[in-house]
Amino acid sequence: MRNGGPDESGAKLVGRMVRFALGVVLALVVVPMVIVVVASVSAGSRLTFPPQGFSLSPYATLLESTVIRAALGRSLIVGLMVVAIGLAVGVPATIALVRYRPRFRIGFGVYLLLGVATPLIATAFAFLVLYTRAGVLGSLWPIALAITVANLPFLMFSVASALTNLDTSLEEAAATLGAESVQTFLFVTLPGMMPGILSGTIMIFVLGISEFLISLLLTTIDSQTLPIAIFASLRGPPPPEFAAAAGIYVVLASLVVITLTSFKTTEQFFYRND
């Protein structure tokens, strides 16, 4: 290839463009996150900028607020339900799709993506009419079911990626060494899939506790989850304890992402080096 002047200046231009885009994107991503965290440790009864001082009082207020505590509790319950349903349903399905290659494999795969392929508002409304008809609005488990449907593929992708990387000869070796299928699964397949299951679990748990639109339509005033409570607070300048609630989400999401990326597999999941 040529190594002329125009290309070299072109290279510099591309480099500069990449850096510029990176800067803009990171600013867009980071600034609101930082502001939430700053606001969550601000003094004063209303959130304004610049803060009138720093204190942990928003978190103290949050702990005192029965409304927020109850909402937080419901969100955690929903998150745990999403994990339980997701694991029970998603892990066997992923193993079946990846390992047993059933007929209509692609068809099954596409069908299980339905929750992602449908705009979230349509998903939410579909569950709304279904649950209205069934008369189960107001409970938490129907919300968890709906959220699981919408987020199941994230768990399945994570598990599938771990399973695909797992050498099938490990399972065959276990068989030659005297392990029948239950023991092969327990002692070889499951430990091999564990990183994928773990990161998938963490991911759908966080997605479950931060889910908004489905909860908005499916919760009643008595079954509000935390994101809905935060939404309700945003009619004017929000009270600081809600900044603390939002701050919890930012910190939690950051911790989770850092944990996930410290698993080698997750980095490989996004950045395969083969």
Q: Which is nearer to another protein, 17 or 67 (CB)?
A: 17
Least separation, in Å, of the C-beta of 158 and another protein?
13
65 is an interface residue for another protein by CB under 8 A = no
Residue 264 burial (CB count, 10 A): 9
Selected from 10, 43, 54, 64, the binder of another protein by CB under 8 A is 10
Out of 53, 63, 164, 237, the residue judged to bind another protein by CB under 8 A: 237
Tally of helices (H runs) and strands (E runs) in the chain: 14, 0
Backbone phi, then psi, for 32, in 5-degree steps? -65, -35
Task: Choose the binding region for another protein from 60-68, 76-84, 222-230 (rule: CB under 8 A).
Answer: 222-230
> Please, are residues 226 and 62 in contact by the beta-carbon 8 Å criterion?
no
Nearest to 81 by CA among 150, 148, 151, 135: 148
DSSP state letter for 239: P
Q: Of residues 116-155, which lie at the interface with another protein (CB under 8 A)?
A: 116-123, 125-130, 132-133, 145-146, 148-149, 152
With respect to another protein, which residue has the nearer C-beta, 64 or 172? 172
Please report whether residue 242 would count as binding another protein according to CB under 8 A: yes
Contact 166, 193 (CB under 8 A): yes
Site for another protein in 153-212 (CB under 8 A): 167, 169-170, 172-183, 186-188, 191-192, 194, 203, 206-207, 209-212
Q: Which of 69, 88, 141, 164 lies at the binding interface for another protein (CB under 8 A)?
A: 88
H-run or E-run covering 173: helix 168-176
Place of tokens 């748990």: 205
Distance CA 211, CA 225 (A): 9
Q: Is 221 in the site for another protein (CB under 8 A)?
A: no
In whole angstroms, what is the distance from residue 148 CA to residue 89 CA? 10
Among 43, 48, 84, 141, binds another protein (CB under 8 A): 48
Segment near another protein (CB under 8 A), from 41-49, 55-63, 64-72, 76-84?
A: 41-49
